[in-house]
Structure 1
Amino acid sequence: MRLTGRALAAGLWCAALLLAGCDAVETPAKPYAGQSVEIAGSWTGTEQANFERVLRAFGKQTGARVRYTSGGSDLEVLVSARVRGGTPLDIAMIPQPGVIARYAATGAAKPITGAAERAVRAHFSPQWQQFGSVDGRLYGVYFKAANKSVIWYRDDAFTAAGVGPPTTLDELTAVSQTLVDSGTVAMAVPGADGWPLTDWFENVYLQLAGTEAYDRLAMRELPWTDPTVVETLRVMGRYWASPRFLQGGPSGALQTTFTRSVADVFGRRPGAGMLYEGDFVTTEIAKLGLYRVGDGARYFAWPTVDGSAGAVITGGDAAVAFTDRPVTMALIAYLASPEAAAIMARSGGFLSVNLGLDAAAYPDATTRSLAERLLRAPTLRFDLSDLSPSGFGGGNGASMWRLLQEYLAEPTTDPALVAARLEAAAAVAYRGM
């Protein structure tokens, strides 16, 4: 049942929540007038402004006063401090399932129940419900999702080199060499930020080792010294070490931030022809204002390895409740609605896995294509580093980030040695859970 925002406000709150499969009932037009609810996330700048539009729509319909607090890169510090201080946020937008599980285990996170749970069940696939669940109970709704299995390229660079988008890793290597031979560096790698390197690992690993090994590694049932890990590191190191494959070489990549890497491909003085990162690159390309997404700036799916089927690595931001007040659950339910997703989708730089969202809400064909791949991927796995303890894979200065940066600095290092270092760091992090 598709509902307009006005219809929701007028009469479909159904026990003060919406879209739970129930019929309209007589309820106050603004059931939470005068009540306050606080929600925090990592979003700043344009993303924050876009999300605040969603929150204002909820406030207008319900009368609730919603305050957004940005924790930026220190969101986890903010959430933890508020929990320890006895003044928890009502909701936090948490990207790491491992962190959600930790808060659920301590009772700090509250299960999503009642009509709010029914709203999530109605609009999200079983797999996305599972991503937000701990021991079978629903704790998070993934309001924003990411497609992390795409490589962006500059159309004019490919045309000049006479190449097309590769579909296999061998073809990616060949295209990279042809770009180099034509005078263009192959790839910009934002090694300074760390997390893009974990995404490199996850995409190669999923393609090379398969879903069973990926799941076992994520669940700590497979050591990081396993031959599949070593081979994945070997593949990455071989590419990183190839002359002129990386903008600035390995040392230059280590000093390149995510935003800088986008400018290195799509800026005023482009150096590289390609950039690996997720769908959110579109926002940075648009800010530069020089290449149009879907025209001069295009993408291709992460190349397959050894004949493997295509697969998608995903991530996202889940709304997790830290209070179980009715107004908190009402906001959770609203974030699970197609209407809330549509507000954010129209602003760009956003993908939703809400099954009720009309794809026409996305601002361009490229974004619609990225969202479709996320919804229809035959193989979908959550970002492995986000499934790990924050000290290992899911936070600033995490061991996986640091060790892959060290490997990028010296990509000819024996990959077995890198794997052993990762295993040692994982053992420490998982013991501390």
Structure 2
Amino acid sequence: MRRPRIAVSRLAAAATALAITATACSGLNSASGEQEFSGKTLTVAGTWNGGEGKAFRKVLDGFTKKTGAKVKFLSSRAQGRDDFALYIRDLRKSGKTPDVAMVPQVGVLQGFAQKGWLEPLPPEVELEAARNFALVWQNYGSVRRIFYGLYFKASHKSTVWYNPKIFEKAGVQPPKDYAEMIENGEKLAAAGTSAFSVAGKDAWPLTDWFENIYLAQAGPANYAKLATNEIGWTDPTVIKALKTFGKLFKGGKLVEGDGAEALRTDLNESVGAVYDKDPKAAMVYEGDFVAGIISGEFNRDVDEDADFFEFPPVGKDSQAPVISGGDAAVAMKGAKNQQMAMSFIEYLASPDAAEIWAKEGGFLSPNINLNLNAYPDDTTRKVAKSLVDAGEAVQFDMSDQAPGEFGGTPGQGEWLLLQQFIRDPSDPEATAQKLDEAAAKAYLDASATGTTG
């Protein structure tokens, strides 16, 4: 049930330099102009739809241009399927296993590997990953020291977005620590604007709030243990973080409408409360994707009308948290085109592939060799630099690492219990006990069915 953090072997990566010259695996090495996969079709499954789907289609077109391969993209969301793991399971059962899957959660990647659904990535892909990614990203793509997943798209979930005009009017600046952020919130409230709008209706933003507070307050070692249910949710560090989180929802000054209103507010509405024509709050915490909502839903210039600061340290001697998530490319066992799948994943590991989507916007890459000028605005460049500069300090979203029964399902587990908590944050110990019981059951069930690490 517990999985240690492990490093991908550097010896294996170094030893592949000679092997690459002899391998015929990659269709990318086409200096002669030959396109190895011309006339063949690669099938890629992912979650992206709408604007994201169109942007990824351009990435796929880039692979076609390099190799001649046609690429068919299967979007689970376009087919009304929200559970990607079940979507892939059903494709396998119907004999339509995709060549590559873009897995949206590290826990799902681990589950696929443990079920024997994935092919290990070959040395040339590992070498390309070693060139272009911090080791932490390779580790999260590995299960039991075997490299299965190449993280192509990332998110930065430690960004607090604010309305500069409201800050200026209240005479406050981005804070240096959590205590100052709360002090600023009180000043904003006194000036007539609530400090935060919180998307409690969607529930998952509440897990992100808790995780940032917990990582900044309890430190990365405890974060890693809690993420694997090693220390349990009744640990004093959990109760302390719940108390810190709960203070936001007491008194009606810091959160617009307190917990009751937060539970009626989804993510887009929470962003609108800060960036609409008549803002009701000064700040909204969530990931880098808030920038896309600001510009797309509310037609605001992100560089002119918005700004962000990194989620601040919580407590003395603590560090600012950097929490991320992402989508990893994996090669499915039993698919028809494994050689082409490996070449495609090697392509995704390159700065060239990342640059295609970066220019379209709504995208962050953990690729350290991607030129930041590829991003379409200064704000996104700042967020991307913050993520890349964090290097090995990046921690993955805790709820994404947990079994879906606990960390990823509406109306149950952590999502439900944190919703109940912000409605009435008076008893963090009782909430911790309920979280502990729900987590224990979910991890036990996942261990029995082999769906988590």
Q: Same fold (TM over 0.5)?
A: yes
Paired AA for residue 163 in structure 1: V
SS at match of 1:432: helix
In the alignment, structure 1 residue 178 sits paired with structure 2 residue 183? no
What displacement does 1:85 show?
Answer: 3.4
SS at match of 1:294: helix
Corresponding residue for 1:3? none
In the alignment, structure 1 residue 365 sits paired with structure 2 residue 378? yes
Contact 2:27/2:36 (<8 A) preserved: no
Q: 1:167 aligned to 141, 154, 176, which one? A: 176
What displacement does 1:27 show?
Answer: 5.8
Distance 2:55 2:159 in 1: 24
SS at match of 2:324: strand
5+ long unaligned stretches in structure 1: 1-11
- Equivalent residue runs for 1:203-282 within 5 Å: 203-282=212-291
Cα-to-partner distance string for 1:185-224 (whole Å, 9 max, x where unaligned): 2111111111111100110000111111111111221010
Q: 2:50 aligned to 40, 45, 54, which one? A: 45
Distance 1:144 1:62 in 2: 22
Distance 1:394 1:93 in 2: 18
SS at match of 1:411: coil
Paired AA for residue 293 in structure 1: V
Distance 1:98 1:74 in 2: 13
Distance 1:59 1:209 in 2: 47
Contact 2:200/2:266 (<8 A) preserved: yes
Corresponding residue for 1:416? 429
Shift of the 25–276 alpha-carbon distance from structure 1 to 2, 3 Å rule, reads closer
What displacement does 1:18 show?
Answer: 6.6
Q: 1:428 aligned to 441, 446, 449, which one? A: 441
| TM-score normalised to structure 1 length | 0.92
Corresponding residue for 1:309? 319
Cα-to-partner distance string for 1:379-426 (whole Å, 9 max, x where unaligned): 2211111111111113444511111111122222x1011011111111
Distance 1:177 1:221 in 2: 37
Q: 1:202 aligned to 202, 206, 211, which one? A: 211
What displacement does 1:370 show?
Answer: 1.1
Shift of the 45–25 alpha-carbon distance from structure 1 to 2, 3 Å rule, reads closer
Contact 1:266/1:290 (<8 A) preserved: no
Distance 1:14 1:395 in 2: 44
Distance 1:35 1:407 in 2: 53
Q: 1:92 aligned to 80, 84, 101, which one? A: 101
Cα-to-partner distance string for 1:50-100 (whole Å, 9 max, x where unaligned): 111101111122221212222233323211222343432222221221211
Cα-to-partner distance string for 1:249-301 (whole Å, 9 max, x where unaligned): 21221121111211111123321110000111111111135432233200011
What displacement does 1:165 show?
Answer: 0.8
Q: 1:402 aligned to 395, 416, 419, which one? A: 416
Q: 1:116 aligned to 109, 115, 125, which one? A: 125
Shift of the 98–288 alpha-carbon distance from structure 1 to 2, 3 Å rule, reads closer
Distance 1:189 1:70 in 2: 29
Q: 1:129 aligned to 108, 115, 138, which one? A: 138
Corresponding residue for 2:75? 70
In the alignment, structure 1 residue 327 sits paired with structure 2 residue 345? no
Distance 2:40 2:153 in 1: 26
Root-mean-square deviation (CA, aligned residues, Å) is 2.0
Distance 2:89 2:249 in 1: 37
Q: 2:402 aligned to 377, 385, 388, which one? A: 388
Shift of the 30–226 alpha-carbon distance from structure 1 to 2, 3 Å rule, reads same
What displacement does 1:15 show?
Answer: 2.9
Distance 1:25 1:45 in 2: 33
Contact 1:14/1:27 (<8 A) preserved: no
Distance 1:181 1:355 in 2: 43
Distance 2:150 2:22 in 1: 19
Distance 2:369 2:83 in 1: 32
What displacement does 1:243 show?
Answer: 1.2
| TM-score normalised to structure 2 length | 0.88
SS at match of 2:363: coil
Paired AA for residue 327 in structure 1: M
Cα-to-partner distance string for 1:149-194 (whole Å, 9 max, x where unaligned): 1100001111111111112111111111111111112111111111
Distance 2:302 2:85 in 1: 33
In the alignment, structure 1 residue 337 sits paired with structure 2 residue 350? yes
Distance 2:283 2:291 in 1: 14
Contact 1:95/1:318 (<8 A) preserved: yes
SS at match of 1:275: strand
% identical aligned pairs = 41
Corresponding residue for 1:4? none
SS at match of 1:29: coil
Paired AA for residue 314 in structure 1: S
Q: 1:142 aligned to 148, 151, 169, which one? A: 151
Contact 2:410/2:416 (<8 A) preserved: no
What displacement does 1:427 show?
Answer: 0.8
Cα-to-partner distance string for 1:346-383 (whole Å, 9 max, x where unaligned): 11121111122111111122211111111122622111
Corresponding residue for 2:14? none
Distance 2:32 2:94 in 1: 36
Equivalent pairs counted in the alignment come to 417
Contact 2:312/2:321 (<8 A) preserved: no
Corresponding residue for 2:34? 29
Mean Cα deviation higher: 150-159 or 26-35: 26-35
Distance 2:59 2:44 in 1: 12
Shift of the 54–273 alpha-carbon distance from structure 1 to 2, 3 Å rule, reads same
Paired AA for residue 249 in structure 2: W
Shift of the 205–158 alpha-carbon distance from structure 1 to 2, 3 Å rule, reads same
Paired AA for residue 37 in structure 1: L
Contact 1:18/1:333 (<8 A) preserved: no
Cα-to-partner distance string for 1:329-351 (whole Å, 9 max, x where unaligned): 11111111110100011111211
SS at match of 1:175: helix
Paired AA for residue 298 in structure 1: D
